[in-house]
Amino acid sequence: MPERELTYREAVREALRQAMKNDERVFLMGQDIGVYGGAFAVTLGLLEEFGRERVIDTPISESAMIGGGAGAALVGMRPVLEIQFSDFIGIGMDQLVNQAAKIRFMFGGLAAVPMVLRAPIGCGTGAAAQHSQSQEAWYTHVPGLKVVMPSTPYDAKGLLRSAIEDDNPVLFLEHKLLYGIKGQVPEDSYSIPLAEAEVKRSGTDITVIAYSQMVSRVLQAAEELSKEGIEAEVVDVRTLRPLDTETLARSIGKTHRALVAYEAPSFGGYGAEIASYIGEELFDELDAPVVRLGGLDMPVPYNPELERALVPQPESIREAVKKMLNRT
């Protein structure tokens, strides 16, 4: 397929456009997604192309939006919802966690909720404590929900198509700092299976596992480490739930060391789940204890220097790897 460069934002928009063209059941709901084009301009132009019946501006009520989306999915539609900031999914947690996530199980598979909930996540934009959190671990704890966090424009387009075609509720979390990055993206429609991790960089000395925005920082750290003779393998899990444990096992079976890097506070973060799997299932493969490198245990500060210090950066990832390899 011929490729050209798109931003992450454009790749998501193209996935939405192609899904809406291919399936009349797909429609969009969200706050300011119509005339305004969305808080991060992802849906810009889609109202003019598809009209108000398929690009619906909703009231500022996440509970009503998520509940309405679940209801539409139950009667055969495939809604894609956009929450302006992932921090506010909490306002609709009952509709998401107690309704959408459980309906297929409670009805013995006779009902399904094929709904995608898109939301920007993460810090780095100076949006302060209430608009900058990384709460992905909340959602991965809920049976019935799938959680996807792509790191590149290519992955974002392919994974969003798979999410829209899935018969389960999917949270599709897009890091704010990724919207402007560019990458090669085929023009044709394509899909990337959910629950399929990818090795973004091959290496032999250590496996560094990440997702979303943290992948680019890990790759930057890996290139610097290579200059010092340390070859890190970088695994992007892409889908947090369900987790592709086979790719993790193959990588760690080769490197025998594992570092998990993530932006959320280290305590109780999703990286702990990955580390637990490695410690329980891959213990005999390890030459050293698995290590987590997460964010600090505090709300996100407004000050840009403090905000940067809150979460792992390439330099702290590099130092963590060297410490594990006794190369400090």
Residues 70 and 19: their CA atoms lie apart, in Å, by: 19
Q: What are phi and psi of 126, to 5 degrees?
A: 70, 30
Q: What are phi and psi of 236, to 5 degrees?
A: -100, 110
Please state whether beta strands 182-186 and 3-7 pair in parallel, antiparallel, or not at all (unpaired). antiparallel
Residues 4 and 267: their CA atoms lie apart, in Å, by: 40
Q: What are phi and psi of 277, to 5 degrees?
A: -60, -45
Give the DSSP per-residue string, 184-217: EEESS-----TT--EEEE--SSEEEEE-TTHHHH
Please check whether residue 300 is in contact with residue 133, taking contact to mean a CB–CB distance below 8 angstroms. Answer: yes
Please check whether residue 141 is in contact with residue 116, taking contact to mean a CB–CB distance below 8 angstroms. Answer: no
Residues 25 and 183: their CA atoms lie apart, in Å, by: 29
**Cα-atom radius of gyration of the chain, to the nearest Å?**
20
Say which of 131, 141, 175, 256 is annotated catalytic.
Answer: 131
Please check whether residue 163 is in contact with residue 172, taking contact to mean a CB–CB distance below 8 angstroms. Answer: yes
State whether residue 77 is helix, strand or coil. Answer: coil
Q: Is 175 a catalytic residue?
A: no
Closest to 234 (Cα-Cα) out of 201, 204, 212, 259: 201
Residues identified as active-site: 131
